[in-house]
Structure 1
């Protein structure tokens, strides 16, 4: 019995070690909100909300949760064939969890908690917004910058993307990156705000991966 218990303990420890050693996505460079330069676009593309995806993943010492959130609307502007602006609205009420079966009580409980004032306070802040402020090439990567508004805070974030155009459509896809939720006043279980959480904290980092498909307006 002791041998079996020891084996289970070792396997559990190794599992936690592997999870904790998962390659962490790089945090988006985050600074104060920046002014948006007004550029008359040569072409305007309208986002296809149904074909666009926003994936998220959150972490805590005992594991993680992951899911999706939907784009409500958006436009992507180009000038001389290059992205010159864009504004996107995210439907915060569309948060979905994918790691807990949809018919389980825990799924509704988690999603309800994420929508509550503890996290994103969806009733008060039904949408989030991302407005492009710039795009440039850095060390062989295309870096997109924009003002992200969540709840009552706006910060400018920069993260790597790829851009592809085909006929009258354009696709903007990000690499997986993280944002620090504490910078948008999402406080629940955050060690950035509370120092007595022990191992009951929830990581500040939220992983995001975004793909926006848009068609010429």
Structure 2
């Protein structure tokens, strides 16, 4: 009798566990990289520059309609400058891709992995993520605007944390008007 009760109890636990795990709908929302855009803005003492970088791939993890995670890979060799033309544009793009900045031959990708997301209100999540640039990984936080088929955010990155120190007043003295600020801005518009 005890064995039968134990078997029934064990079977009930297995069934309930199975139902609990299958009741949650875990979904991977792939990013449409062709329709998505990542733009950047970097400032220096004498002005600023703007540009874009392309996504290689990306996805969000959604469980029961709530954002839970995600991973995004950027193609650092795709860095473009949008505020210059001709020789100046090509020169700056080459410099940004060089070892002075992002060293794209050695570090062709940057990656952002969402480690947690908490709903703040309808359509907005507070996100904590790990950002890897040049094999250095540091946490970043930002608000993500979430819609049915899109998501967007603006975030500030301190490049000096990722060993991108060229022209940084934090590491070099007497740069004067050649100083490039450590923080750069990203505007991200994702379609899925």
Task: Confirm or deny a common fold (TM above 0.5).
Answer: yes
Greater helix proportion: 2
Q: 1:156 — aligned with what?
A: 139
Q: Quick one: higher RCO (CA 8 Å, sep 6+), 1 or 2? A: 1
Asked if residue 91 in structure 1 is aligned to residue 69 in structure 2, the reply is no
User: Match for residue 202 of structure 1?
Assistant: 180
3-state SS in 2 of match to 1:204: strand
| 1:172 and 2:156 correspond | no
1:42–1:138 distance in 2 versus 1, CA, 3 Å: closer
Are 1:113 and 2:95 counterparts? yes
Q: Where in structure 2 are there 5+ consecutive unaligned residues?
A: 1-23
Alpha-carbon RMSD across the aligned residues, in angstroms, is 1.7
- For residues 79 and 137 of structure 1, do their structure 2 counterparts lie closer, same or farther at Cα, with a shift above 3 Å needed? closer
The 2-side partners of 1:53 and 1:145 are apart by 20
Structure 2 matches for 1:66-81, cutoff 5 A? 66-81=50-65
After superposition, give the CA deviation of every residue in 1:42-90 in whole Å (9 maximum; x if it has no partner). 1111111101110100011111100110011012110010111111110
Deviating above 2 A after TM superposition, structure 1's stretches of 4 or more consecutive aligned residues are 137-142
For structure 1, the 5+ residue unaligned runs are 1-39
**Alignment partner, residue 37 of structure 1:** none
In the alignment, the residues of structure 2 paired with residue 203 and residue 123 of structure 1 have an alpha-carbon distance, to the nearest angstrom, of 24
User: In 1, Cα distance between the equivalents of 2:191 and 2:147?
Assistant: 10
